Amino acid sequence: GAVVSQHPSRVICKSGTSVKIECRSLDFQATTMFWYRQFPKQSLMLMATSNEGSKATYEQGVEKDKFLINHASLTLSTLTVTSAHPEDSSFYICSAELRGVGYNEQFFGPGTRLTVL
């Protein structure tokens, strides 16, 4: 159980286009999902916290108009990279939070590799 999927797994786009990445919790409901970005040979950096039915909370330095997050249902959050540029090329990973007694567990998706030409 507790499976999180991401779609697409890989995307290549031209500079200036917008790209949407989906994160789904397949067998549980997730009020909260997280979006991370990982540049080559670097760590995962939290970009934003996505809460169902409300606005996302962005980490310092992350442009909210550039990275649009929509958490419209308890099983789906989307990240849209608007007007993508080569510097946005990265590995984007989402996680979905499963609320438990005493601790909320994060389950990670397989990641989406974005290449902007």
Decide: is 113 part of the binding site for another protein (CB under 8 A). yes
**Contact between 54 and 66 (Cβ < 8 Å):** no
Residue 99, beta-bridge partner list:
104
Query: In the bound complex, what is the minimum distance in angstroms from residue 34's beta carbon to another protein?
Result: 8
Applying CB under 8 A, among 11, 21, 47, 93 the residue interacting with another protein is: 93
Q: Which of residues 31-60 bind another protein (CB under 8 A)?
A: 32, 34, 41-46, 49
CB 90 within 8 A of CB 43: no
Task: Write out the two tokens for 6.
Answer: 């991401």
Residue 97 binds to another protein (criterion: CB under 8 A): yes
Query: How far is 7 from 110, CA to CA, in rounded Å?
Result: 9
Instruction: Name the site residues for another protein (rule: CB under 8 A).
Output: 32, 34, 41-46, 49, 91, 93, 95, 97, 99, 102-106, 108, 110-111, 113
